[in-house]
């Protein structure tokens, strides 16, 4: 099965509450086989665009079922509330599934 990715952009409005979220989400997300690929402000633009991200996180999951299981798990529901209390309404979570085909084809 192809790997799945969660790309999150957080615009933090309440740093202390977000830190509580960050600490609590770690153990929950590890349970579902994740691997952080990028955290915080590791992004840059090679070309222009309209997106102005603040804090970008990219997390790899073994597959889309693992990602969905994590997001919908009872353990993650309390941290979701913390995340929403500590970030802007403009926060984004995007999921992607890796291409099944190998090579340089888009």
For the chain, what are the domain ranges? 4-43+53-97
Helix (H, G, I), strand (E, B) or coil at 97: strand
| CATH 3.40.50.150 given to domain 4-43+53-97 | no
Q: Confirm whether pTM is higher than 0.85.
A: no
Q: What does residue 74 show for φ and ψ, rounded to 5 degrees?
A: -60, -30
40 phi-psi bin (left φ>0, alpha ψ -120 to 50, beta other): left
Rg value, the chain, Cα: 15
Q: DSSP assignment, residue 63? A: S
Render each residue's pLDDT in the chain as its tens digit; 106 residues: 899 999 999 999 999 999 999 999 888 888 887 887 876 666 666 677 777 778 888 999 999 999 999 999 999 999 999 999 999 999 999 999 987 655 554 4
Write down the pLDDT at residue 19.
95
């Amino acid at each position: 099965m192809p790997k799945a990715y969660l790309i999150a952009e957080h615009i933090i409005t309440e740093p202390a509450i977000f830190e509580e979220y960050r600490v609590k989400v770690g153990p929950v997300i590890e349970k579902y086989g994740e691997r952080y690929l990028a955290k915080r402000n590791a992004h840059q633009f090679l070309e222009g665009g309209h997106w102005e991200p603040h804090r970008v996180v990219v997390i790899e999951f073994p597959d889309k079922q693992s990602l969905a299981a994590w997001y919908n798990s009872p353990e993650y529901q309390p941290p979701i509330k913390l995340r929403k209390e500590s970030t802007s309404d403009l926060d984004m979570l995007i999921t992607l599934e890796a291409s099944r085909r190998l090579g340089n084809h888009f």
